[in-house]
Structure 1
Amino acid sequence: MFSKGKLAVIILLFAAGIINYLDRSALSIAAPFITDDLKLSATQLGIIFSSFSVGYAIFNFIGGVASDKYGAKLTLFVAMIVWSLFSGAVALAVGFTSLIIIRVLFGMGEGPLSTTINKMVNNWFPSDQRASAIGLTNSGSPLGGAISGPIVGFIAISYSWKISFILIMIIGLIWTIAWWKFVKDKPSNAQFSTRVKKQVADHEKRPLTFYLKQKTVLFTAFAFFAYNYILFFFLTWFPSYLVDARGMSVKNMSIITVIPWIFGFIGLAAGGFVSDYVFKKFARKGVLFSRKVVLVSCLFTSAVCIGLAGLVTTTTSAVVLVALSVFFLYLTGAIYWAIIQDVVDQNNVGSVGGFMHFLANTAGIIGPTVTGFIVDKSGTYTAAFLLAGGLAVVASLAVIRFVQPIIVQAHSKTREVVVGK
């Protein structure tokens, strides 16, 4: 299906996703130890979780603009170095304030990843392969989350939680060497270049501000916000929920958290193929129809599952429902990016994708802190589960109404051009 050059891009971006979530989820796995060592309350821990997304969300947009201007290869190379160094710096934290500063800088480093993946896919793959490629490359993220539990849990129990962050830093720095050596920013294949020129001609270049005002972009970002709200709730608070509310040991928790991540890996890897299959099957209905079918049905199902997880009484039921929620959530993971690919010209894909990702990741700033506040005030996680599900229900319904083909006026003639029909 993929040529040798494309396969190298997929493999290394897949590996970057593994490292990304290995780094990102390490703090939530080590949270019980860090909370004890640094004497943190649930609200403080929530603020620390959220601080990551302050830097992350801002550099979603900045990273997207950089990938358009300087190339995705260089942008991701620099980003990996920065986030790896500040992942290791977590081991140097001595209190609440220092940990916040480190996590903000760490988030800044990780911010460009998804937008650079989107840009690389746009450079290397035609439209009927893009959702599949995005799904495959991003599926490394939940796999990284899956292995983070056993790795960080084992090291924290056997040695020290600080050692795990240093080890993860070294892995990231090794990746940068392979990335710079084996990957090109764009393919040199003449046939592909011709096809790209045709696609650019079909999607006449528009100013960035044109896209940032479109309802399709804004409401795709809102759906992505709901996606990220559930994801960050799971990523940051689910381990603590298992320990605090379900009475699990850190050892058992680090193993149990693997289950939802495995479901997420399957969902994200399969989601792009599902979308591309529906795209090919119902081509006459338009590309956005295929994207919306997968997005709306799966995001809604994920919302129901995460809401029910907060109401059930047994640990097994809660874990199963969260796993199903993550599975259906990740089935939509490639769709947000695919929609941007479908309606935006190639020169603006990185910037518009970064803007969408910036808006979406404000959920990572708001969600963990709100959850910590809810837990402190109510003493339970039930309302936090229901809030996460409720947001996703509203977002999935909004997609049906507002994510539509973009209609623009061609400059040369007074005729309408429908983009992403």
Structure 2
Amino acid sequence: MLKLLTLLFLISSVSYIDRINIAVAGKGLMEEYGIDPVRMGVLFSSFVLGYALFQLPGGAFADRFGGKLTLFVALIWWSVFTALTGVAGDIALSLGFSVLPFLVLVRFLVGAGEAAAFPSYNRIVASELPEDKKGLGMGISIGGIGVGAALTPPFVVLVMESLGWRWAFYLSALLGILLAFLWWVSVSEKGSKKIEERGNFLQVLKRKEVWFLTLSYSTFGYIVYVYYSWFFLYLNEVRGINLKESALLSMLPFVSLTAGSFIGGYMSDRLRERFGLNVGRVLVVVSGMSLAGFFILLGGASEGNLTAVFNLSAGAFFLFLSLGAYWALPIEFSNPNAGKISGIMNTGANLGGTISPTLTPLIAQSFGWQNAINFSALMAFLGALLILGCWKR
């Protein structure tokens, strides 16, 4: 179990390096090709759109063929297109076309590849971990995103200053390809086998809990993509913190969310034992999302830069306190269909995430950055309310 969860943790880390490297390297890309913040938001959203549209196919593939093959193919796919991000603009110019559509297509395909990752995790955890470890297992597996997100700003800044912004994409892609082959040779078929018994998926879709879960997780996705897409640039451009300090300070929310993911997964398993299958998980989500909203509000209103970073980091911690519980709920609803249900749930998150990278700067342009952040807090409170639809003793 330890080897399996460690590899999933590492894949999560690399997936988020590949996902958000553009939020830091984007500064060089914007300057080179003259892309303004709103068009950059469209580019951010193109990844999320591809990621959202391929969640259910990715989950169905994982339920049908198992996690080992699914993750191997997906990791190779998104790594190749991550590397192409560095040259897509030049290819477009050499062909006499506009840069932005080419970049949008490439980032869409990166997202399509990454879409299979987390539903595959759910399939693996549903198959291999005992009932009292599933929340923790999902918390650990997906918790790697915090490490990847924390390492991305200093890693990308160092590469940009040494080799140029394109190399941030090339080296990120190389990490993914190496990890794909490590995954392939290290994991046995037992750890990724498919479940032969198939639940009635259409009956599962009729359950209101699946849709309340999806709607609640969509608010989670909205907030997460504000952090991923705009936190670094918010510190650098809005609060006037220099490039290197912004890179270091922008690590803090992502370190916090890793801790929140681990602790929340453990808590959801313990509360499940105490209060029952769904109630224990729901309690963790309600608590985490409510506290996240409170600290995000404080962060947006903070005058001091360090105080703002602290409060927004606390918001990230409590946001991800709910993560393991969110991802354990599809297993509770229908173990044989856990991959597909989690794919639907994560589609909701990424539809929210498709909106937020573009909507956030638009709100900021019209009403100021504090109100853009306040809107994220409102989404957290809404998510806490919606998850109550899954409350069932």
For the aligned pair, the TM-score class normalised by the smaller chain equals over 0.9
8 A Cα contact 1:226 1:360, kept in partner: yes
- Identify the structure with the greater helix proportion: 2
State the alpha-carbon separation in 2 of the partners of residues 210 and 53 from structure 1: 28
Q: Which residue of 2 aligns with 1:321?
A: 311
8 A Cα contact 1:17 1:140, kept in partner: yes
Q: Which residue of 1 aligns with 2:228?
A: 235
8 A Cα contact 1:73 1:185, kept in partner: yes
State the alpha-carbon separation in 2 of the partners of residues 11 and 253 from structure 1: 29
State the alpha-carbon separation in 2 of the partners of residues 336 and 188 from structure 1: 21
Q: TM-score, normalised on structure 1?
A: 0.88
Q: Which residue of 2 aligns with 1:360?
A: 349
Q: How does 1:20-419 map to 2 (within 5 A)?
A: 20-94=15-89, 95-187=99-191, 206-280=199-273, 282=274, 285-346=275-336, 348-378=337-367, 380-400=368-388, 402-405=389-392
Q: Which residue of 1 aligns with 2:95?
A: none
Deviates more, 1:122-131 or 1:92-101: 92-101
How far residue 188 of structure 1 moved from its aligned partner, in angstroms, is 10
Q: Secondary structure at the match of 2:315?
A: helix
Q: Secondary structure at the match of 2:54?
A: helix
Unaligned runs of 5+ in 1: 1-5, 406-420
Q: Secondary structure at the match of 2:303?
A: coil
Q: Secondary structure at the match of 2:311?
A: helix
> CA 1:58/1:185 → structure 2, altered by over 3 Å: closer, same or farther?
farther
Letter in 1 for 2:384: S
Q: Which residue of 1 aligns with 2:92?
A: none
Unaligned runs of 5+ in 2: 90-98
Q: Secondary structure at the match of 1:247?
A: coil
How far residue 404 of structure 1 moved from its aligned partner, in angstroms, is 3.2
How far residue 296 of structure 1 moved from its aligned partner, in angstroms, is 0.2
State the alpha-carbon separation in 1 of the partners of residues 357 and 67 from structure 2: 30
Deviates more, 1:11-20 or 1:217-226: 217-226
Q: Deviations along 1:79-134, whole A, 9 cap, x unmatched?
A: 00011011111111312222111110110011111100111111111211101111
Taking only the aligned residue pairs, the percentage that are identical comes to 29
State the alpha-carbon separation in 1 of the partners of residues 192 and 360 from structure 2: 48
State the alpha-carbon separation in 2 of the partners of residues 304 and 212 from structure 1: 33
How far residue 187 of structure 1 moved from its aligned partner, in angstroms, is 4.8
State the alpha-carbon separation in 2 of the partners of residues 42 and 355 from structure 1: 30
8 A Cα contact 1:131 1:334, kept in partner: yes
State the alpha-carbon separation in 1 of the partners of residues 365 and 43 from structure 2: 15
State the alpha-carbon separation in 2 of the partners of residues 35 and 308 from structure 1: 31
8 A Cα contact 1:31 1:240, kept in partner: no
Q: TM-score, normalised on structure 2?
A: 0.94
8 A Cα contact 2:25 2:168, kept in partner: no
Letter in 1 for 2:22: L
Letter in 2 for 1:64: G
How far residue 26 of structure 1 moved from its aligned partner, in angstroms, is 0.6
8 A Cα contact 2:124 2:192, kept in partner: no
Could you tell me which of 9, 12, 18 is aligned with 2:13? Answer: 18
Q: Deviations along 1:44-101, whole A, 9 cap, x unmatched?
A: 0111111101110111111000011121211111000011011111111312222111
8 A Cα contact 2:8 2:142, kept in partner: yes
State the alpha-carbon separation in 2 of the partners of residues 245 and 262 from structure 1: 22
Cα RMSD after superposing both structures: 1.8
How far residue 398 of structure 1 moved from its aligned partner, in angstroms, is 2.2
Q: Which residue of 2 aligns with 1:7?
A: 2
State the alpha-carbon separation in 1 of the partners of residues 76 and 187 from structure 2: 16
Q: Which residue of 1 aligns with 2:93?
A: none
How far residue 143 of structure 1 moved from its aligned partner, in angstroms, is 0.4
Q: Which residue of 2 aligns with 1:417?
A: none
Letter in 2 for 1:356: M
Structure with greater Cα Rg: 1
> CA 1:296/1:327 → structure 2, altered by over 3 Å: closer, same or farther?
same
State the alpha-carbon separation in 2 of the partners of residues 273 and 185 from structure 1: 27
How far residue 377 of structure 1 moved from its aligned partner, in angstroms, is 3.3
Aligned residues: 384
Q: Secondary structure at the match of 2:360?
A: helix
State the alpha-carbon separation in 2 of the partners of residues 184 and 337 from structure 1: 24
8 A Cα contact 1:42 1:376, kept in partner: no
Q: Secondary structure at the match of 2:301?
A: coil
Structure 1 segments, 4+ long, off by >4 Å, are none
8 A Cα contact 1:138 1:269, kept in partner: no
Q: Secondary structure at the match of 1:334?
A: helix
8 A Cα contact 2:126 2:335, kept in partner: no
8 A Cα contact 2:20 2:228, kept in partner: yes
